[in-house]
Structure 1
Amino acid sequence: MSADFEYTRQGRTSRMAALLTAIYAVLTGAVVLMDAAWWLMAGLALLTLPALWDWYANPSAGVRLTGSHLYWHSGRRHGDLALAQIDHMRFDTRWDFSIRVRAVLTDGKRVHLPFEAIPPHREFEKHLQARGMAVKRSHFAFF
């Protein structure tokens, strides 16, 4: 049996801090140096509030794959499935090239894993297949 696989990511990253700092610097520079309308720049700054909240709250997301269960969490959401319940895992490539993962259960129901909790897809697929699980890929599906 393969060793447990665990993947976790945090909402607070240095990349996010650098990006927010750069955006606020550009908006401030536009007001000071180019005499841009402050209210328009403030409106644009409002669009960064979800990213700023993620950086402040630092939510955790991830998956854990054991010999018998698949666990996932994302912020306040969490779930688990017994591997015996899963018929196959489906990896869907979207038009924006993101990979969405869902577990198709033996009774036909589908359980979508949160996007932010998904590890790099090739590594995740390798660990799923090491446990004898079927993995199906679908490229550029509309639904």
Structure 2
Amino acid sequence: MSTVLNATDVRKDWGRFIDTVVRKGPQFVKRNRDKFAAVSVEHLRALLDGYRLKMEIYQEEDGTYTGALDVFDVVANAPTIEELKVELAKEAVEYANEYMEEFSLYFHSPNRKRHAPYVLNVLLQDDLEGVVGLLDA
């Protein structure tokens, strides 16, 4: 880690710290033994850009489509592929919210730790259409 700021100094000049994070780039802060990074939403979106969700799609005998996401354990069924994408996006948002509610549990679970960047990318989207845009067939 390059420059690490002291939390006391950050607190003294909070406005400038925020301006630096938003306009210049991420900042690292240390308070006692704890270290954290502050990053703007714009920069975080760029960092998470490659974390997309791949869909596996199957057509059922009744003509409907069933899909699953490769990263999250979610499945949905719908009459069309477009409707399926919306349903899977809704499931992804629900899972992402659940993940964040129990972040410590999920993040420290070996099989779910790698979900974190995908969860953040889902939650960064402005609306459901943005989440649909993260889905690749």
More strand by share: 1
Q: Relative contact order (alpha carbons < 8 A, sep ≥ 6): 1 or 2 greater?
A: 1
Give the structure with the larger helix fraction: 2
Flag the structure with larger Rg.
1
- TM-score normalised by structure 1 residue count: 0.25
